[in-house]
């Protein structure tokens, strides 16, 4: 994963590469060809997996800072419980079929 500083340096590097290419192309080609060259540079920067990985990491970090870790830990806990319910339901289904699964949901075992 990239740190914020590495991410910013990566983006600046990509923008610098695009700018250099535009200057090189602008000196020798027509406006239509220049437009195509700019589009190709942007396409190259946008398809860089390292860039998107860094973007997702930065967004995740910002979201945690803004919303707080409690939000993400809460969502994780809910998803974990749903997963266990699915595993339990699948186990009951494998052992007793649909009738056992329906019976479990009609008369759930309650802690005593």
Average pLDDT over residues 55-67: 83
Residue 77 clears pLDDT 90, i.e. is over it: no
Average of per-residue pLDDT across 52-81: 82
pLDDT > 70 in the chain, percent: 92
* 63-75 average pLDDT score: 75
Closest CA to 77 of 89, 69, 67, 87: 69
Q: Residue 81: which H helix or E strand, with range?
A: helix 69-106
The whole-number pLDDT of residue 105 equals 79
pTM of the model: 0.34
Q: What is the pLDDT, as a whole number, of residue 32?
A: 83
**What is the arithmetic mean of pLDDT over 43-56?**
84
What is the structure's pLDDT at 98? 86
C-alpha–C-alpha distance, residues 15 and 11, integer Å: 6
Please say if the pLDDT value at position 112 is more than 60: no
Residue 83 pLDDT > 90: yes
- State how far the Cα of 68 lies from the Cα of 74, in Å rounded to an integer: 11
- Give the residue-averaged pLDDT of 48-53: 84
pLDDT at 69: 67
């Amino acid at each position: 994963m990239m740190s914020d500083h590495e991410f910013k340096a990566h983006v600046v590097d990509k923008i610098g590469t695009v700018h250099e290419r535009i200057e090189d192309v602008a000196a020798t080609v027509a406006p239509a060809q220049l437009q195509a060259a700019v589009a190709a540079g942007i396409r190259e920067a946008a398809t860089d997996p390292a860039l998107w990985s860094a973007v997702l990491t930065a967004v995740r970090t910002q979201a945690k800072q803004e919303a707080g870790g409690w939000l993400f830990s809460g969502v994780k806990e809910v998803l974990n419980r749903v997963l266990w319910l699915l595993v339990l339901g699948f186990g009951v289904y494998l052992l007793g079929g649909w009738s056992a699964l329906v019976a479990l949901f009609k008369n759930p075992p309650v802690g005593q």
